[in-house]
């Protein structure tokens, strides 16, 4: 009896120790390793949450073959910053987001976080966030991209994003006629 | 609406400030500035086209609707993306000023018509606040038909008021939009309830009615046709309101003349918030709003009760002050040195009577009162407080007294006798629109001297432009308070106000935000913020 009880306790301790590890290791497509807060990863990424819950996290680095090291570094950075950030609903309750409003405005630090990214790094991050099911990070990055489009003419937008115009001149004219109300001040 | 343009536009601005904020903010200039930094690389790859349609729809949905439509011409794929992206038509996005300058009006109206017609839906939301619909009644019907057909979820539809405008009837097409989850209407005449036959809004959670002419009882009928309604906001007058709803959690009434408000059966109601609610439009009238609290077992947040303008009735007992002519002198009133007593109508006539049993609401934790502490309304304060023995946060909005009576001094308050909530429950006490008057100080001293568990107090001074009292003077006025007799060691913050005289108008978003459990508090009372405010040292910070 005594022995059994001791063994049970040891097993219990080991399990607790495993669950207690508060970081997970992620491995980028080019083999670099990154540590990230387990709590933040599980909270911010549905995919990582699923992997943690399902036990498919590898202590030697969980392979994320679709994500390059630069993007993964940003993901990890974002998770760790999120884990440490203080909610801004501090003093005066003037900014209220309605339950029905689908988009939440990014916080100040989140804006800065995406503002410093290069064009390519931003899109790598959107793709990584999409792959990992990180809704909040997708919100922040998509918001940034939409801000890059705001206040610009279609020509300027094409230029910023290198979008190729595949319309014929006639097609383009037709659509502009259809949407004349959207182009009245051009 | 007959007050001329400035007044009408003021009303519109107030209503626009009071409806839910649109989901897309047109901060284009700001965006253009920051986007310049992350500008395109002339030789770079087309990264954005590598994103999925779902992500592109997400991005397009975040643009003001006109700009969203313009992405159609980027490339053929973008046209499909726009057509499939849920549309948010916010007409104020089109112009710099809300409401728009008259010169822009036709363009705005055309763009809304164009977007509603060109996009197949679904419409996530439509915020239409810029058009004088009285001049476009056929268009109004068409818009509503399209919104119903394409299933809009959130609708804010405010008729832009005109100077010499007759009231515009809202077509009953509105009642066919059964997909609505949130509806705010402003400056209309509501179709009569008989047109409501068979109508229901099965998903409507939030209803706002601003400056809408309604027939008596029509709001009640409308509420009954919303089986999941949680929030009801009314700005402007209605004769009476008799609410029966299994789901309502928050009712707010602002700037309104109402004779009668009854919570007949509202088992889920948590908040009843009244702002500038009166019984008569005439200041001299003594007609008061009767507020009858029937079945409301979850009512937690209540205010601003105004003793001078409201009659409170709880569970069939009316709490009232009877102003007796001097000829009445009851023998047992000997202890009261003025000719006013608290009368509980169904009970016996007794001076200083304690409301008991059904006249007590134990669920109310957050209470606000608008009261002139130097006039007879102050006498109702103890009676009101005794009706809500479990109040933990008390917020007083101090109304201006033209001729304050000298009798409301500290001796007066000492004679009031024990009030359970003050003695044992109140943790937070704030006073706003404070002018440093002696009667205000007397009341503060009474609370500070008796509140055993008070943790934090805030005094918000009225705007010094109206009081002429400088910050330093205000601080020294407050230092007259005798802190050696205060009952607990609480944090005291003194704040200033930049608002208009009488306080900043109430905004519905504030009261309907359930994540804030005390919507009346001027600041969030957080213990970690109170370290720098102690009762022994008066600190100031101005908002």
Mark out the alpha helices in B19-70 (DSSP H runs).
28-37, 53-61, 65-70
Q: Which of B413, B363, B359 is nearest to B392 (CA)?
A: B363
B247, two tokens: 């789901």
- Is residue B403 over pLDDT 90? no
Calpha distance B122→B114 (Å, rounded) = 15
Query: Do residue B372 and residue B514 come from a single domain?
Result: yes
Asked whether residue B29 is domain-assigned, the answer is no
Which of B299, B324, B346 delimits the end of a domain?
Answer: B299
pLDDT of residue B508: 95
pLDDT per residue over B52-61, tens digit each? 999 999 999 9
Calpha distance B529→B514 (Å, rounded) = 22
Which of B189, B220, B246 delimits the end of a domain?
Answer: B189
Which residues share a beta bridge with B353?
Answer: none
CA distances from B473 to B442, B463, B501 (A): 18, 13, 19
User: For the residues B397-417, what does the mean pLDDT come to?
Assistant: 86
Q: Which of A169-178, B12-21, B394-403 has the lowest mean pLDDT?
A: B12-21
Residue B34 and residue A96: Cβ atoms within 8 Å?
no
- For A119, name the nearest residue in chain B, comparing CA atoms only: B38
Judge whether B442 and B480 are in contact, CB under 8 Å. Answer: no
CA B530 to mean position of chain CA atoms: 27
Q: Which of B32-46, B245-259, B427-441 has the lowest mean pLDDT?
A: B32-46
- Using DSSP, state whether A136 is helix, strand or coil: helix
pLDDT of residue B352: 46
Residue B52 and residue A130: Cβ atoms within 8 Å?
yes
- Is residue B341 over pLDDT 80? no
pLDDT of residue A129: 96
Judge whether B275 and B506 are in contact, CB under 8 Å. Answer: yes
Mean pLDDT (chain A) is 82
- Is residue B345 over pLDDT 80? no
pLDDT of residue A56: 82
User: For the residues B467-474, what does the mean pLDDT come to?
Assistant: 90
pLDDT of residue B21: 82
- Using DSSP, state whether B81 is helix, strand or coil: helix
pLDDT of residue B35: 44
pLDDT of residue B132: 87
B236, two tokens: 């402007």
pLDDT bin (cut points 50, 70, 90) of residue B446 is: very high
A143, two tokens: 């918001």
- ipTM score: 0.84
Nearest to A179 among B38, B118, B206 (CB): B118
Q: Which of B331-345, B415-429, B518-532 has the lowest mean pLDDT?
A: B331-345
pLDDT per residue over B487-525, tens digit each? 999 988 888 888 888 888 899 999 999 999 999 998 765
Calpha distance B429→B447 (Å, rounded) = 8
Q: Which of A78-87, A147-156, B261-270 has the lowest mean pLDDT?
A: A78-87
Residue B510 and residue A117: Cβ atoms within 8 Å?
no
Task: Compare B440 and A84 and report the one with higher pLDDT.
Answer: B440
Judge whether B454 and B426 are in contact, CB under 8 Å. Answer: yes
Q: Is B529 on the interface with A (CB under 8 A)?
A: yes
Asked whether residue B199 is domain-assigned, the answer is no
pLDDT of residue B37: 43
- Is residue B103 over pLDDT 50? yes
Q: How far is A55 from chain B (nearest CA, A)?
A: 30
pLDDT bin (cut points 50, 70, 90) of residue B460 is: very high
Dihedral sign, Cα of residue B442, residue B448, residue B452, residue B455: positive
Query: Do residue B216 and residue B148 come from a single domain?
Result: no
User: For the residues B165-176, what does the mean pLDDT come to?
Assistant: 87
* Contact residues, chain B, for A164 at CB < 8 Å: 46, 49, 75
Concatenated DSSP letters for B439-492?
HHHHHHHHHHHH-TT--EEEEEEPPHHHH---HHHHHHHHTTS-GGG-SS--EE
Q: How far is B37 from chain A (nearest CA, A)?
A: 8
CA distances from B539 to A88, B453, B494 (A): 24, 21, 7
- Is residue A90 over pLDDT 60? no
Query: Do residue B331 and residue B439 come from a single domain?
Result: yes
User: Could you say which DSSP state residue B281 is in?
Assistant: S
| DSSP-derived pairing of the beta strands B317-323 and B340-344 | antiparallel
User: Could you say which DSSP state residue B423 is in?
Assistant: I
User: Could you say which DSSP state residue A55 is in?
Assistant: T
Asked whether residue B126 is domain-assigned, the answer is yes
Which of B155, B189, B223 delimits the end of a domain?
Answer: B189
pLDDT of residue B419: 86
Calpha distance B383→B281 (Å, rounded) = 26
Q: Which of A158, A47, B286, B238 is nearest to B223 (CA)?
A: B238
Query: Do residue B436 and residue B463 come from a single domain?
Result: yes
Asked whether residue B306 is domain-assigned, the answer is no
pLDDT per residue over B10-49, tens digit each? 777 888 888 888 876 555 434 444 444 445 555 678 999 9
Asked whether residue B284 is domain-assigned, the answer is yes
Calpha distance B110→B95 (Å, rounded) = 13
Q: Which residues have C-beta within 8 Å of that of residue B472, sequence separation ≥ 6?
A: none
H or E segment at A83? Answer: helix A69-84
Q: Which of A180, A96, A115, A55 is nearest to B18 (CA)?
A: A96
Q: What is the pTM of this model?
A: 0.83
Query: Do residue B442 and residue B466 come from a single domain?
Result: yes
Domain hosting B144: range is: 5-21+51-189
* Contact residues, chain A, for B460 at CB < 8 Å: none
Query: Do residue B438 and residue B524 come from a single domain?
Result: yes
- For A156, name the nearest residue in chain B, comparing CA atoms only: B40
Burial of A140 (0-12, 13-18, 19+ CB in 10 A): buried
Residue A149 and residue B510: Cβ atoms within 8 Å?
no
- Total number of domains in chain B: 3
pLDDT of residue B298: 96
Cβ neighbours around B95 below 10 Å, total: 18
Q: Is B516 on the interface with A (CB under 8 A)?
A: yes
- Is residue B537 over pLDDT 80? no
Calpha distance B378→B28 (Å, rounded) = 51
CA distances from B150 to A119, B121, B178, B427, B456 (A): 37, 5, 11, 50, 51
Query: Do residue B364 and residue B288 come from a single domain?
Result: no
Query: Do residue B366 and residue B448 come from a single domain?
Result: yes
Query: Do residue B378 and residue B489 come from a single domain?
Result: yes
Calpha distance B230→B249 (Å, rounded) = 5
Query: Do residue B293 and residue B177 come from a single domain?
Result: no
CA A62 to mean position of chain CA atoms: 18
Tell me which long-range contacts B410-419 makes (C-beta under 8 A, separation of at least 24). B410/B442, B410/B445, B410/B446, B412/B442, B413/B442, B413/B443, B413/B445, B413/B446, B414/B446, B415/B335, B415/B336, B416/B382, B416/B446, B417/B352, B417/B382, B418/B450, B419/B382, B419/B385, B419/B386, B419/B450
Mean pLDDT (chain B) is 83
CA B218 to mean position of chain CA atoms: 21
Asked whether residue B454 is domain-assigned, the answer is yes
Q: Is B59 on the interface with A (CB under 8 A)?
A: yes
Query: Do residue B385 and residue B281 come from a single domain?
Result: no
Q: Which of A96, A104, A105 is nearest to B19 (CA)?
A: A96
pLDDT of residue B134: 84
Angle (nearest 5°) at CA B497 between B495 and B499: 160
Residue B341, sorted as left (phi over 0), alpha (psi -120 to 50) or beta, turns out to be beta
Asked whether residue B309 is domain-assigned, the answer is no
**Strand residue runs (E) in A38-166:** 62-63
pLDDT of residue B402: 81
Asked whether residue B195 is domain-assigned, the answer is no
Tokens 């083999």 map to which residue?
A: A31
pLDDT of residue B41: 57
Residue B28 and residue A150: Cβ atoms within 8 Å?
yes
For an interface test with B, which of A100, A106, A183 has the most B Cβ atoms less than 10 Å from its Cβ? A100
pLDDT of residue A11: 54
Size (chain B), residues: 543
Q: Is B527 on the interface with A (CB under 8 A)?
A: no
Query: Do residue B344 and residue B295 come from a single domain?
Result: no
| Percent with pLDDT over 90 in chain B | 54
């Amino acid at each position: 009896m005594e022995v059994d009880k001791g063994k049970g306790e040891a097993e219990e301790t080991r399990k607790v120790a495993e669950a207690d590890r508060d970081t997970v290791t992620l491995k980028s497509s080019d083999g670099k390793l990154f540590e990230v807060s387990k709590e933040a990863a599980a909270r911010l990424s549905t995919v990582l949450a699923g992997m943690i819950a399902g036990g498919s996290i590898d202590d030697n680095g969980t392979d994320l073959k679709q994500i390059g090291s630069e993007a993964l570094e940003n993901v990890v950075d974002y998770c760790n910053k999120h884990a440490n950030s203080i909610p801004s609903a501090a003093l005066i309750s003037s900014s209220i987001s309605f339950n029905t409003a689908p988009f939440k405005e990014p916080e100040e630090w989140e804006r800065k976080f995406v503002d410093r990214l290069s064009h390519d790094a931003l899109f790598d991050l959107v793709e990584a966030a999409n792959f990992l099911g990180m809704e909040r990070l997708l919100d922040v990055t998509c918001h940034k991209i939409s801000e890059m489009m705001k206040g610009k003419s279609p020509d300027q937008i094409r230029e910023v994003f290198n979008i190729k115009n595949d319309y014929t001149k006639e097609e383009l004219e037709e659509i502009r006629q259809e949407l004349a109300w959207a182009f009245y001040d051009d | 609406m007959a007050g001329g343009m400035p007044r009408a536009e003021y009303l519109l601005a107030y209503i626009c400030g009071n409806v839910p904020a649109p989901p897309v903010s047109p901060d284009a200039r700001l965006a253009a500035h920051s986007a310049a930094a992350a500008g395109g690389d002339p030789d770079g790859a087309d990264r954005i086209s590598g994103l999925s349609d779902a992500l592109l729809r997400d991005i397009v949905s975040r643009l003001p609707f006109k700009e969203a439509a313009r992405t159609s011409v980027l490339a053929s794929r973008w046209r499909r993306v726009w057509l499939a992206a849920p549309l948010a038509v916010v007409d104020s996005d089109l112009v710099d000023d809300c409401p728009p300058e008259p010169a822009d009006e036709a363009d705005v109206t055309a763009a809304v018509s164009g977007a509603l017609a060109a996009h197949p839906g679904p419409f996530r939301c439509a915020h239409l606040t810029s058009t004088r619909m009285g001049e476009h009644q056929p268009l109004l019907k068409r818009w509503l038909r399209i919104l119903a057909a394409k299933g809009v979820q959130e609708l804010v539809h405010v008729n832009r008021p005109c100077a010499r405008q007759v009231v515009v009837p809202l077509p009953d097409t509105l009642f066919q939009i059964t997909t609505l989850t949130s509806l705010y209407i402003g400056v209309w005449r509501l179709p009569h309830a008989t047109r409501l036959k068979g109508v229901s809004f099965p998903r409507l959670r939030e209803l706002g009615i601003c400056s809408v002419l309604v027939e008596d009882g029509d709001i009640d009928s409308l509420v009954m046709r919303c089986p999941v309604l949680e929030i009801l906001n009314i700005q402007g007058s209605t004769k009476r309101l008799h609410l029966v709803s299994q789901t309502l959690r928050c009712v707010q009434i602002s700037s309104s003349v109402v004779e009668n408000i009854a919570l007949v059966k509202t088992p889920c109601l948590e908040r009843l918030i009244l702002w500038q609610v009166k019984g008569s439009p005439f200041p001299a009238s003594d007609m008061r709003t009767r507020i009858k609290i029937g079945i409301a077992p979850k009512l937690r947040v209540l205010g601003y009760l105004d003793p001078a303008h409201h009659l409170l009735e709880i569970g069939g007992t009316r709490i009232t002050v009877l102003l007796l002519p001097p000829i009445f002198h009851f023998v047992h009133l000997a202890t009261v040195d003025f000719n006013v007593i608290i009368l509980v109508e169904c009970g016996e006539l007794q001076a200083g009577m304690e409301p008991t049993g059904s006249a007590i609401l134990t669920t109310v934790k957050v209470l606000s009162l608008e009261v002139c502490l130097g006039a007879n309304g102050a006498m109702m304060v103890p009676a009101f407080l005794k009706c809500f023995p479990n109040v933990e946060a008390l917020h007083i909005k101090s109304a201006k007294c033209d001729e304050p009576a000298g009798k409301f001094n500290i001796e007066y308050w000492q004679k009031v006798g024990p009030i359970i909530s003050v003695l044992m429950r109140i943790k937070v006490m704030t006073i706003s629109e404070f002018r440093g008057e002696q009667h205000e100080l007397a009341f503060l001293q009474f609370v500070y001297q008796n509140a055993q568990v008070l943790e934090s107090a805030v005094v918000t001074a009225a705007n010094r432009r109206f009081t002429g009292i400088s910050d330093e003077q205000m601080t020294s006025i407050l230092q007259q308070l005798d802190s050696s007799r205060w009952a607990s060691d609480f944090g005291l913050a003194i704040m200033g106000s930049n608002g208009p005289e009488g306080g900043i108008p109430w905004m519905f978003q504030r009261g309907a935000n359930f994540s804030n459990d005390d919507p009346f508090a001027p600041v969030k009372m957080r213990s970690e913020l109170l370290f720098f405010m102690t009762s022994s040292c008066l600190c100031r910070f101005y908002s």
